[in-house]
Amino acid sequence: MTERFSLQHLDTCEPEVFCAALADIWEHAPWVARKVVHQRPFTSIEALHRAMVTAVAALDEAERVALYAGHPDLAGEAARRGTMTASSVDEQSTLDLGHLDLQEASRWDELNRAYRTRFGFPFILCIRRHTRASALHAFLRRLENDRGTELNHALDEIAAITRMRLDRLISEPTEPSTSVPVQPSTLESPP
């Protein structure tokens, strides 16, 4: 994401332009932007993000798992080959996860397999908020959770990832914001 857009532009442009500009915010899920385009104008990046997270949280479990499945494994084969989306490459490169030694790569691969086997979707973590050690700690800790807890954790982590992506893509006026940042775990999630 190199081109930045103003929130005002996104609020007033053609729906196709809005959807194209936000297509990569959600990993392999450009439909999220299409779900919220009719809600414009948005008063802030927080309001836009809240609408997007609400749309995803409203999905049934199978649809959410399908969305989660579009995310790459942390430090997985795709990271080592560099075949992820540009945003994921950028994010995982903050911890140099694409350049692990053989022993480290094997450990991450083992954890990724264990997580997918246990929960049916990839381990998702907002890597920009972690060190390599804290990411591994979170991985081990979350492997102990039940599926429902992990479905919610995954949404919370994706919400953090997408918010950071929006912040890098959209510029807002410099007026102080009075809105409260979205707390995804407080959203009602499907049963």
Catalytic residue among 38, 71, 99, 153: 71
The answer to whether residue 130 is catalytic is: no
31: its two tokens: 């439909």
The CA distances from residue 99 to 70, 75, 84, 124, 127, in Å, are 22, 8, 14, 19, 15
Q: Tell me if the bond preceding 181 is cis, omega within 30° of 0.
A: no
What count of other Cβ atoms lies within 10 Å of the Cβ of residue 17? 14
Name the strand (E) or helix (H) holding 5: strand 5-6
Among 80, 95, 69, 75, residue whose Cα is nearest residue 158: 69
Catalytic residue list: 71
